[in-house]
Amino acid sequence: MSVPTTTLKLVVVAGDGIGPEVTGAAIRVLQAALDRGGITLEVVHHLIGGTAIDTVGSSLPAPTLAAARAADAVFLGAVGGPAWDHGGERPEAGLLALRRGLGAFSNLRPVRVWPGAEGHSPLRPERVRGADILFVRELTGGAYFGRPQGVAGIRPRRRGVDTIEYGEAEIQRVARVAFAAARRRRKRVASVDKANVLATSRLWREVVSEVAEEFPDVALEHCLVDSFALRLLLDPRAFDVVVTENLFGDILTDESAALVGTLGVLPSASGGSDGPWLYEPVHGSAPDLAGRGIANPLGAIATAAMLLRLSLAREDLAAAVEDALAFVFANGPLTPDLGGSGSTETVTAAILAQLASGVPR
Ligand code: NAD
Ligand code: IPM
Ligand code: MN
């Protein structure tokens, strides 16, 4: 993928619930950062998720996927909600199809405890201080995509089936992403599986070990997912890069929100093949918050920083946004999920003000 230098063509799929609220905040911050970097932002909005089902009868309309494929980058808010939980097409299917359609097989989910923000975690500050983990979650395989899948039969004898399947090439490519990332960090990879029970995990372990031989300067540790889930809370600083399959990655990254105190601040970026990257905060549509103006925009804003770094190679602009984030995290205002009384708007305004006053690096 070429790196745009003068114009960023961005497809925004804001989706459902708080998706449009946090996406609006992130695009304002992105615009401010790009203005500073002399890059023009061209935004086109497209439908996805429940909103798309209600409007055109499909969770991923063809024009959305076509536009996403042709964009420099894609920004997702969130999909799903109780309105679409009662049968029929699911909003989440649209997101899965978008990930697959973009060839986004690796999902980078950094979890960093900002200095001074340790107090937001329900864990003891001394346990989480300085924790800095990069989860590399496999995103287009495993139980999410394995077939057969479904419920068949009639009550009371219905049966549900899901299939977990991984091929060697799928494991190799995501493992390489993790090892390459570790090389730029603290040179440690923890690979998480359930090799004591699952065949796919035994293959996963073998293939990851083989890939490790290509990276002799990076240390590899294999962990079973159950005990890893505990170690993540007891000693998060023991981990640098964590690579794992789709379903474990989904669960463990939500768990890791306990290190920072809320899901509302975790960013992510999905990609790996030649297509544009998909930027998506880790959190969902938060139906309990939708329309109330109090959703935390920091996860979406941190996701915009990832876009500046990965799709535009503008480390300077990414760092400027992250500096503003760290400042607001430490000084407020903060939304209620972090114990504050701020709103999406006041937090976003504080980031924009900090960005405007920050000294360019
Ligand atoms: P959720 O992530 O929406 O919410 C979990 C908890 O975190 C809730 O208490 C919520 O209030 C809080 N939270 C989430 N984002 C927040 C934010 N920005 N600011 C403050 N608090 C925030 O998960 P859920 O409730 O289990 O799922 C709701 C819907 O979202 C489901 O339909 C699910 O499928 C969907 N979902 C979508 C995505 C996505 O589109 N990327 C991700 C996860 C869940
Ligand atoms: C996430 C979400 C999605 C996932 C859902 C909405 C399909 O939970 O991005 O973490 O499970 O991948
Ligand atoms: Mn999830």
Q: Is residue 274 flagged as an active site residue?
A: no
Tell me how crowded residue 23 is: count the other CB atoms within 10 A of its CB: 26
326 burial via Cβ count (<10 Å: 0-12, 13-18, 19+): middle
Q: Which ligand neighbours the alpha carbon of 17 most closely? A: 1
Angle at 285 between CA 92 and CA 276, to 5 degrees: 60
pLDDT in tens, 194-222: 999 999 999 999 999 999 999 999 999 99
Cβ(228)–Cβ(190) below 8 Å: yes
Exposure on the CB side of residue 28, measured as CA atoms within 13 A: 20
| pTM of this structure | 0.98
254 C-alpha to center of ligand 1: Å?
10
pLDDT in tens, 283-305: 999 999 999 999 999 999 999 99
- Ligand 2 atom closest to the CA of 254, numbered from 1: 10
pLDDT value of position 4: 84
pLDDT of 8 > 90? The answer is yes
pLDDT in tens, 87-106: 899 999 999 999 999 999 99
- Ligand 1 atom closest to the CA of 296, numbered from 1: 19
Segment 112-139 mean pLDDT:
95
144 C-alpha to center of ligand 2: Å?
10
Angle between helices 246-260 and 225-234 (to 10 degrees): 10
Helices within the chain (DSSP H only): 19-37, 49-56, 62-70, 91-101, 125-128, 168-183, 199-212, 225-234, 246-260, 298-310, 315-331, 344-357
Q: Is residue 254 flagged as an active site residue?
A: yes
Cβ(281)–Cβ(267) below 8 Å: yes
Average pLDDT across the chain, whole number: 97
pLDDT in tens, 227-237: 999 999 999 99
Q: Is residue 226 flagged as an active site residue?
A: yes
pLDDT-derived band at 116 (thresholds 50, 70, 90) equals: confident
Structure tokens at 85: 């939980």
Higher pLDDT pick, 164 / 3:
164
Name residues contacting ligand 1 (CB within 6 A): 18, 22, 78-81, 92, 95, 262-264, 280, 283-289, 295-296, 299, 335, 337
List the domains of the chain with CATH numbers.
1-108+262-361 (3.40.718.10), 122-260 (3.40.718.10)
Q: From the candidates 144, 166, 193, 337, which is the catalytic residue?
A: 144
Q: Is the dihedral of CA 137, 247, 250, 128 positive or negative?
A: negative
Segment 114-134 mean pLDDT:
95
C-alpha to C-alpha distance for 134 and 145, rounded to whole angstroms: 24
pLDDT of 1 > 70? The answer is no
The closest residue, in CA terms, to atom 8 on ligand 2 is: 250
pLDDT value of position 155: 97
pLDDT value of position 325: 96
pLDDT in tens, 341-350: 999 999 999 9
Structure tokens at 143: 């139980």
Pairing of strands 73-78, 7-15: parallel
C-alpha to C-alpha distance for 336 and 297, rounded to whole angstroms: 12
SS (H, E, C) 153-221: CCCCCCEEEEECCCCHHHHHHHHHHHHHHHHCCCCEEEEEECCCCCHHHHHHHHHHHHHHCCCCCCEEE
pLDDT value of position 360: 54
| Strand partners of residue 124 | none
Q: Which ligand neighbours the alpha carbon of 254 most closely? A: 3
165 C-alpha to center of ligand 2: Å?
18
Q: Which ligand neighbours the alpha carbon of 21 most closely? A: 1
pLDDT in tens, 9-66: 999 999 999 999 999 999 999 999 999 999 999 999 999 999 999 999 999 999 999 9
Amino acid at 324: A
Q: From the candidates 16, 72, 240, 250, which is the catalytic residue?
A: 250
Cis amide prior to 148 (ω within 30 degrees): yes
Q: What distances in angstroms separate CA 342 from CA 26, 181, 226, 329, one per listed residue?
A: 16, 35, 37, 12
pLDDT-derived band at 115 (thresholds 50, 70, 90) equals: confident
| Strand partners of residue 193 | 224
